[in-house]
Amino acid sequence: MTSNLLQAQDPSLEKGLNLWDLMQQGGWAMYPLGLCSLLSLFLVFHSYRETHLRKFQNEMEAKRLPPTLAKRDLSRASGILSSSGTVLARAMLEALSRAKPELPNANKEKIEESLAESLEKEENTIGQWINYLNVVATVAPMIGLLGTVSGMIGAFQTISSGGMGRPELLAGDIGEALITTATGLVIGIPAMIAYFIFRNRLSNRMIEISQAATHFVDYLSGDIPYTENKESL
């Protein structure tokens, strides 16, 4: 009986709330939360693309660089790296500028120092986008909590103005408090999970190309002799 009366007074209870109704009931906090949601989706897509393996190294480098570096043909090696455009290629290209083929070890120490600096710079450039996911994961629940506080303040103001005996007047404020909290968590939890996934993915990629770059430098310095039947890295 009571349920039928409520549905007669508020038709939305019978058909249920749609997304727009929830946003309206959530109040002002739903707008920044919506922006956080869109930003999170963009960052996930961008981080996935930027941490894809093809962005870090390719087969052409693995096949063509070892014999070229073993012969200390820096001009040809630079041409191969320039046409590649991967993270490994950019780091190696900058490191080879410190090479001196006339020396027995081709100035290996300076090359390795430059390589380490270049790889760190590349990691920071990619990692800043992943770090923004952590910002979203932190800020979204806080905005939701702020919306909750705002809703509870509104509920207490309604009570103080004489709405204690009419609970339907509190529904909007309580709805705002609950919806914003839930929305903030729904945005923040996946963003935090995505942050750790892409952070680990970037770390693994950097370890792989760091090992590959070290082998390339060893070919150049002569520490690893190149043979035609040697397996590609």
- The domains of the chain are located at 26-221
Q: What is the structure's pLDDT at 4? A: 47
pTM of the model: 0.77
Q: What is the pLDDT of residues 104-151, one digit of tens each?
A: 888 888 889 999 999 999 999 999 999 999 999 999 999 888 877 777
Q: Is 224 exposed, middle or buried (0-12, 13-18, 19+ CB in 10 A)?
A: middle
199 φ, ψ to 5°? -65, -45
Task: Return all residues near 177 (Cβ < 8 A) that are at least 6 apart.
Answer: 147, 148, 149, 150, 151, 152, 155
Distance in angstroms (rounded) separating the CA atoms of residues 117 and 64: 24
Contact 131, 194 (CB under 8 A): no
Q: Is 157 exposed, middle or buried (0-12, 13-18, 19+ CB in 10 A)?
A: exposed
Distance in angstroms (rounded) separating the CA atoms of residues 123 and 141: 28
Residue with tokens 């750790």: 196
Task: Return all residues near 203 (Cβ < 8 A) that are at least 6 apart.
Answer: none
pLDDT of residue 30 exceeding 90, the answer is no
Distance in angstroms (rounded) separating the CA atoms of residues 223 and 233: 16
Distance in angstroms (rounded) separating the CA atoms of residues 73 and 134: 44
User: Across the chain, what does the average pLDDT equal?
Assistant: 80
Percent of the chain with pLDDT over 70: 75
- Strands in the chain per DSSP E: none
